[in-house]
Chains A and B, each alone.
Chain A
Amino acid sequence: MNQRVAVVIPALDDRDLLAKNLPLLIEELEARACDDELTVVDDTGQDLLAAWIAERFPGKVRVIVRGDCGGFAKALVTGARLGTAELLLCLNPDVRVRPGFLSPLVEAMADPNVHSVSPRVLLNGDPNHAETHQRMLVDGGRLISQPLTPDPDCSDPLPIPFPLGGAMMVRREEFLAEGGFDPLLAPFYFEDTDLGLTAWRRGRKVLEIPASVVEHHHRGTIGRVVPDNIVRAAIERNRLLVHWKHLDSKAAAHEHYLSLYRDALDAGIGERREELIWMALALEELEAATASRIGLGSMQRSLDAALVAADPSR
């Protein structure tokens, strides 16, 4: 259990979050004493973090400055490429780790069939609201998520549909070999969902490790710099794109299409502009989604089977 871990934090101008959350992480890495790596990728495109981090955390944190603001997915790949450890832990700047969170993750990754793991990610530290603890299903032709209430007494690893992008561990080489997150879903949201569903459909597993706990102060990063309506549009567009990418049966496609057609009609009659805009944004990416879908290749599990296997309440 002494595998080294490369921790990568893609960051915008999140100095206040880093000042609050990095010390806890450094303490954890030092306690583990496995020569782990800690890298912050400055994705502001303006080199805002290097000097500040050097002053605050001298010799503890490596800072990689990107020349442009490429977004979370690109920044993560940048940090991963420059790492050397076998395991890659991706963290958001607004994630606050709790002591002892790292070792259980490393232990869980010992199983080669495990594709990725996430700690139990508590939204704003609320023990009853774990962002990782959810299931996904297709309801009325639409891909939806259902949050589940975590069992505080359960310490066994649980299957989950996807590792939470803001706190996930993968094998670094494997992640890079797969090309990281799908650029179809840029700028943000649902990249991790796609990663998890792909892993499950390839016969692998994604686990939540309840023994490992972190806190997520949600949208502490994007929500501060992007208006809510843009964020929502990205979420709803990508929900459709991910579904289109993973639709794998004619019947499911037909059901989804009818549902979408009905919703479009209803939004048009009801003049619900935002819903129409979300659909239009997704439909503009239809060709890219088709290409991404073709890139998946053959799968071991159907989407339905993957969703069932990934249901933590099962």
Chain B
Amino acid sequence: MRIGLFVHGLPPRATHGVETHTQAFAEALARAGFAVEVFAPCNSPGRAQYSQRREVRAEGYGVTWVQVEGTMDPRHMARAVGAFLDRERPDVVHLQHMIQLGAAAIEEVERRGVPLVYTAHDFFPVHETLTLMRPDLVPFECGDLEMQARVLQAQGFLDKLNHLGDHHGTVLLDQPGFENQIGEASAVTLRAILDGQRDGGLAEAREQVRLRAQHMRVTFAKIDKRVATSQVLARRLGGALGRAVEFRASGIPTDHLSNLPAARSHGGPLRIGFIGGLLKHKGVHTLLEAFGPLQGEAELHIHGASHDRAYGRILRARAAEVGAQMHGEYSRDQLPQILGGLDLVVVPSLWMENAPYVIREAFAARRPVLVSDTEALRESVRDGEDGLLFTQGDPKALRVALRRLIDEEGLFERLVMGITPPLSIDEEAQAYGQTYSELLEKARENKALPLLPASVEPFAKRFAALDALPTRDIFERVQRGLEKLGECMGVAEQPADLLTQAVASGSPTRDLLLDHDRALEWLRKSVANMELARDEMEKRAGWFQEQLANAEKRAQWLGGQVDQGAQTTGVERDWLKESKDDLEQERDWLREQQGESEKANSWLRESLDQAEQEGQRLRAWAEDSIQKATEEAEKAKAAAKAAAEEAQKSQEWTAESRQQTAEEAEWLKETAEELRRENRWLQEKADDGEAAITSAQASAAEATRALAALAKEREWMRGVLETRQQELRWVRERLTGDSVPEGEDPAKDPAAIFEAHEALERELVAMHSHEHWLYAELASIAGILESKGSEAKTLAADQLPAALAGMRAAAARSMGELTWRRQEMLAAREGSDRLLARLASPELADRIRSWELSPEPSAPLPPLMDPEWTGPGPEDSKRAESKVDDAEGLHWSAPDGILNDEEDES
């Protein structure tokens, strides 16, 4: 059968009575054949909160330590307990204490249908104050919840008294031989609180106590077997919680104590001993006070340590005064030696006690015990049979009892003889074993498998049997089964090889654990930061509290001053009242601030919890964001690099362009200048040409004007640098009629252009003169014809036809010559037109044509065969002569050949 033992601590980490007993009990159960697994909280540095670690002890049981740092959170503890139960699968859970485990542990056990036994060692199920003692060391009744609330309130008050040291549970006030620890004023306040005369915080304390009692009552009902280690405890717990509680004495390990030397066998003075924690409610100071007058007649040995250092100092000082020996801390295995050095043990407890282990240990070593006379201790020690009782907290009564043992002959021996051996731990384990079996049987009856088809039952039973095993046992079975399977399959690898290959092939669990580890580290940091913030808020809250206290003091003082108003002037009284009001306002403000601060503190704590939850999500988000940001940064970096390169290229290109532009501008400037010079030269040339043809050639003047217009046009073109080249080309094309190749300077040979122009002019003039000459010829022919006609009038009739034929032939030759000339002129005209078209724009050409000498024939040409035509008149001849004169002015010479030919033909 597997037993889960739940306890709030275990040696070596915790060495008080319950913890030590649980360890011994676990060992005893293991000896009895039970599989025992202890579940205990601990606080080990560096471990994750609520993480679990298992150790296997040489005594044959396991211990699972659950990490709890600071205040236990019931929800997390419930989860930890649940995981433990699922893994270890105890058949029965035995709860030795609820401290640090909480009611949640009980609920988890109940949820799984595991039988639960609870052994009460104190009043924890009913009272948070286990000893049922007020801070002033006055006991109160079990179930007195009002007093419990006041005790909580009083402890809150004592916690603020820094000079008390590190243990504020109880204080010495009126104990004989000891000073009041907290001073008279604080003692007055403490008593007022305990008497219910101070309201501050009492309502909250009452509510806290009420809720705890309510919850505990519900939880207590879920326990299958409730046991208490004394009858008093069983009665009172049962009464307070309304459930039956069975009394069952605890056992102790006895073997190591049974063979000690007999008490008082040494022949020396009586050796009185105290063994246990040096706490006020244990009443050690009462023992020291009682022992004082016995110094020299007996020895007093005090074994134990105290975490109440202030009280420890008091005890050491008093022990030195009365000659008692303080031996300090001891370990459990020193107990035989300690008891061997004592003749009797005193238990001077100021609280009601339950069933102290030290009494049974003393009895196991056959040492009588003197105990305070309380209801519970009367169960352990029978007065006058195995020990003596004395009035609780009364040093005189204790001294009387000790004196009896010194003086009363045979008393000590009678007491030793009356000692009954205590229950051993193995006997206790056996008794509980029986209880476990009964509970398990009952649970199995209640927890029958659901009604299944008979065909499924064998399989379902096998499943249930395996499911009832601890996880590691199933794993072990699987490993053994795999060994057999490997044999069947002929797998030759050794386990080490298999392990290596298995690990090499990856483990989802390992990956998950690593992920969790990283997440945990991040959360720890977050929690640390939040805790820093919380500490800061608490400091602020403390400061507000301090200010409030100061304000209250001042208000109190001022109130006193106001009360003495009769002795003060009216003005002062008013001032004091105002001051008091101000201070009360200030106090109210500070209270508000304190409230706000507490709210903020509360909020911060909630935030801390939320932050822990948010932490995981944020971490995932942050990692994702970092990843994305890294990628974006890489992209941006690459883009920036590309942009920089582009910018560099652009800069270089800009510089290059600027250089080119500057060079081009310079070139254009030079070109423009050159063109300007060329234009000036051309203008000069044009002017020269104009001068050359000024001999009555209106055309030359017009040409000059045209050139001037052209020059203006060129001037405009100078302003347009970008189109300069093209426009120049256009000009050249206009000037030369030739297309200008790219890059050729259009103004290289202007002289040739003007030379061609002049030649054309000359040709035109010559042709014009020739035309005039032709008209003169025609007039001459007409004269000849006229003279021939006159001659014909004188000829005989038979001679007339021949003469007429001669005349017609001469006329025909003349007309032929005229026609040929005319065609030649037309051809020349066309050439002139083409040249004009090349040289100038259409407008310019039109203008130039308008300068031409219009053909003005002196007389209309006679029709060749018109018998009525009589030839030109004298006016025509005159006009012809004047034109000839004009033509001669152009140095145009007549073509002699025509006349000569005509004469020859004639």
Contacts and interface: CB of A to CB of B under 8 A. Distances in A.
Contacts of B453: 12, 43-44, 69, 71, 187, 225-226
Nearest to B502: A262
A283 B460 contact: no
A271 B87 contact: yes
B462 A281 contact: yes
Contacts, number: 136
B507 interface: yes
A268 interface: yes
Nearest to A289: B488
A187 B455 contact: yes
A276 interface: yes
Interface string A91-133: 0000000000000000000000000000000000000000000
Contacts of A280: 466, 474, 477-478, 481
A165 B458 CA distance: 22
Contacts of B485: 244, 257, 260, 283, 286
A268 B507 CA distance: 11
B455 A284 contact: no
Given A260-B485, A262-B502, A273-B474, A281 B466 contact: yes
Interface string B432-470: 000000000000000000111111101110110011000
Contact of A273 (B452, B462, B471): B471
A154 B762 CA distance: 106
Nearest to A140: B505
Given A264-B475, A273-B471, A290 B454 contact: no
Contacts of B455: 43, 69-72, 74, 186-187
A250 B456 CA distance: 34
B454 to A, nearest CB: 4
Contact of A270 (B463, B472, B477, B509): B509
A276 B488 contact: no
Contacts of B87: 271, 273
Interface string B338-381: 00000000000000000000000000000000000000000000
A270 B475 CA distance: 11
B631 to A, nearest CB: 33
Nearest to A186: B455
A229 to B, nearest CB: 8
Interface residues of A, number: 50
B496 interface: no
A230 to B, nearest CB: 5
Contact of B475 (A244, A268, A290): A268
A165 B472 CA distance: 37
A247 B450 contact: no
A48 to B, nearest CB: 12
A80 interface: no
B489 interface: yes
Contact of A262 (B489, B490, B507): B507
B456 A226 contact: yes
Interface string B495-519: 0001101110101111010000000
Nearest to A274: B467
B498 A186 contact: no
Nearest to A72: B455
B421 interface: no
B829 interface: no
A279 interface: yes
A268 B474 CA distance: 9
Interface string A256-296: 11101110111111110100110111111010001000000
Contacts of A74: 455
B460 A230 contact: yes
A261 B456 contact: no
B450 A266 contact: no
A253 interface: yes
B86 interface: yes
Interface residues on B, range: 35 or more
A68 B455 CA distance: 8
A219 interface: no
Contact of A290 (B460, B467, B472, B488): B488
B633 interface: no
B462 A227 contact: no
A45 interface: yes
B479 interface: yes
A264 B488 contact: no
- Do most interface residues of chain B lie in helix, strand or loop, or is the interface mixed? helix
A157 B498 CA distance: 45
Given A227-B450, A254-B489, A283 B509 contact: no
Nearest to A221: B453
B53 to A, nearest CB: 14
A270 B515 CA distance: 14
Contact of B459 (A230, A261, A269): A230
B462 A264 contact: no
Contact of B462 (A71, A270, A284): A284
Given A265-B507, A270-B509, A283 B456 contact: no
Nearest to A44: B453
B634 to A, nearest CB: 36
Given A273-B86, A283-B485, A226 B466 contact: no
A73 to B, nearest CB: 9
A233 B478 contact: no
Most buried by A among B463, B498, B509: B463
Contacts of B177: none
A234 interface: yes
Most buried by A among B453, B467, B502, B509: B453
Interface in A192-251: 225-227, 229-230, 233-234, 244, 247, 250
Contact of A253 (B452, B471, B474, B490): B490
A182 to B, nearest CB: 15
Interface in B506-535: 507-510, 512
B450 A276 contact: no
B482 interface: yes
Contact of B467 (A69, A253, A273): A273
A279 B450 contact: no
B454 A45 contact: yes
A266 B509 contact: yes
Nearest to B506: A262
Given A225-B453, A258-B502, A286-B488, A270 B478 contact: no
B52 to A, nearest CB: 11
B468 to A, nearest CB: 10
B502 A265 contact: yes
A230 B456 contact: yes
A257 B489 contact: yes
A187 B460 CA distance: 10
B477 A283 contact: yes
A14 to B, nearest CB: 11
Contact of A71 (B456, B460, B471, B508): B456
B471 to A, nearest CB: 5
Given A257-B491, A262-B505, A276 B478 contact: yes
Contact of A258 (B452, B462, B498, B507): B498
A264 B478 contact: yes
A260 B483 CA distance: 11
6 contacts: A72-B455, A225-B452, A230-B460, A260-B482, A283-B477, A283-B478
Interface of B: 86-87, 450-456, 458-460, 462-463, 466-467, 471-472, 474-475, 477-479, 481-482, 484-486, 488-491, 498-499, 501-503, 505, 507-510, 512
Given A43-B455, A262-B505, A273-B474, 17 more contacts: A45-B454, A226-B456, A230-B452, A250-B490, A258-B502, A260-B485, A261-B482, A262-B501, A267-B475, A268-B471, A276-B475, A276-B478, A280-B481, A281-B459, A282-B481, A284-B481, A286-B488
Interface of A: 12, 43-45, 68-72, 74, 186-188, 225-227, 229-230, 233-234, 244, 247, 250, 253-254, 256-258, 260-262, 264-271, 273, 276-277, 279-284, 286, 290
**Top 6 closest A-B pairs, CB basis?**
A283-B481, A71-B455, A270-B509, A69-B454, A262-B502, A268-B475
